[in-house]
Amino acid sequence: MAGVELTEVVKRYGDVQVMHGVDLTIEEGEFCVFVGPSGCGKSTLLRMIAGLEETTEGKIEIGARDVTRDDPSQRGVAMVFQTYALYPHMTVSENMGFGLKMNGHPKAEIDEKVSMASRILKLDEYLKRKPAALSGGQRQRVAIGRAIVRGPEVFLFDEPLSNLDAELRVEMRVEIARLHKEIGATMIYVTHDQVEAMTMADKIVVLRAGRIEQVGAPLELYRDPDNRFVAGFIGSPSMNFLNGTVKDGAVEVPGLKTSVSPQVTLPSDGTDVIVGMRPEHLTVASGDVLGVDLTEALGGVSYAYLTADTGEKIIVEERGDIRSNEGDRVTVSIEPERIMLFDANTEQRIR
């Protein structure tokens, strides 16, 4: 097993720079998730670790080895892609053992490794089937089996569940987490889905436009985001943001027609700030401040979609029912210690 260390990693395609000096330590045995919007560089970074993309500048180490210029096959990694890329004319068992066979491993060893992977992934009853006779989830398990059989030090997953329907995604999420527990290898998992990141990761790396915005455990990022981007990306529905201005030791929020007092060290009077409030921390209260556009009752929780007279939108999540209706005028309340504050210019958190 091995950890992964990136030092000032840069990627350029011609004169277009897509990774801007990434430093990152992934511990041995850790489940690390790269998350961020489409195009932020998740796949590029993963493929650089795999050796499928050349690293323009900087260093990549796996274990204590500098692998920056090594071929993919020398790095001790195995990658699972969004598309399964199974050989249609081979059985499940042959698909899983193919890599080892090509490298000249003895049949007995291949059989043993395939049956180990098959047991872990519960594929025993499908070993003689061809991919066409498998469901999407089963095919993805075979693709994962192919990686396990190679016995890598580091597993790399690039959005492996994106082609599956919602129910199967949840099931496979649990399976991959179980797989990580069982084999204990270092895993790096790319997704644009913050729920996958939150539920699977030991460590989340939030990327944006080729830079790391923040690294931390899922709940650290949720409770203590460094900036507006991370605050808005982690959590569902997203955090609400309203414009505010510091005045007389409080923050005036035109959208709420009142001042709030977040428990932070406020910048000087006149500073423009962004007030962040998570939907689950807000409560609908009686008042004449916000219009109710829509309410949704999901049984366990309800959502109210509100609009301020400033045009700003607010989502409130409450347990049980929300006792307001479309067209009502209401206000919202929140405990001051739940309010987050960001600098309006830099978008950095004010703590």
Ligand X SMILES: Nc1ncnc2c1ncn2[C@@H]1O[C@H](COP(=O)(O)OP(=O)(O)O)[C@@H](O)[C@H]1O
Q: Name the residue nearer to ligand X (CB basis): 17 or 307.
A: 17
Where are the alpha helices (H) located in the chain, listed in sequence order?
42-50, 92-102, 107-120, 136-149, 166-183, 194-200, 218-223, 228-233
Report how far residue 23's alpha carbon sits from residue 31's, in angstroms, rounded to the nearest whole number: 17
Q: Name the residue nearer to ligand X (CB basis): 26 or 92.
A: 26
Identify the burial level of 189 via C-beta atoms within 10 angstroms of its C-beta, where 0-12 means exposed, 13-18 middle and 19 or more buried: buried
Whole-number CA gyration radius for the chain: 24
Q: Name the residue nearer to ligand X (CB basis): 16 or 166.
A: 16
Could you tell me which residues come within 8 angstroms of residue 322 by beta carbon, excluding any fewer than 6 positions away? 284, 295, 297, 302, 303, 304, 316
Least distance (Å) between residue 42 CB and Mg ion: 5
Least distance (Å) between residue 296 CB and Mg ion: 31
Least distance (Å) between residue 55 CB and ligand X: 13
Q: 40 touches which of Mg ion, ligand X, none (CB within 5 to 8 A by kind)? A: ligand X
Q: Name the residue nearer to Mg ion (CB basis): 43 or 194.
A: 43
Least distance (Å) between residue 231 CB and ligand X: 20
Least distance (Å) between residue 246 CB and Mg ion: 40
Q: 140 touches which of Mg ion, ligand X, none (CB within 5 to 8 A by kind)? A: none
Least distance (Å) between residue 40 CB and ligand X: 4
Closest CA to 349 of 254, 194, 230, 186: 230
Q: 18 touches which of ligand X, Mg ion, none (CB within 5 to 8 A by kind)? A: ligand X
Q: Name the residue nearer to Mg ion (CB basis): 36 or 235.
A: 36
Report how far residue 160's alpha carbon sits from residue 35's, in angstroms, rounded to the nearest whole number: 13
Q: 38 touches which of Mg ion, ligand X, none (CB within 5 to 8 A by kind)? A: ligand X
Report how far residue 318's alpha carbon sits from residue 304's, in angstroms, rounded to the nearest whole number: 8
In the chain, the amino acid numbered 40 is C
In the chain, the amino acid numbered 66 is D
Q: 13 touches which of Mg ion, ligand X, none (CB within 5 to 8 A by kind)? A: ligand X
Q: Name the residue nearer to ligand X (CB basis): 205 or 315.
A: 205
Find the residue with minimal CB distance to Mg ion. 43
Closest CA to 22 of 38, 53, 39, 45: 45
Least distance (Å) between residue 208 CB and ligand X: 10
Residues forming contacts to Mg ion in the complex (CB under 5 A) are: 43
Q: Name the residue nearer to ligand X (CB basis): 114 or 200.
A: 200
Residues forming contacts to ligand X in the complex (CB under 6 A) are: 13, 16, 18, 36, 38-44
β-bridge partners, 349: 342
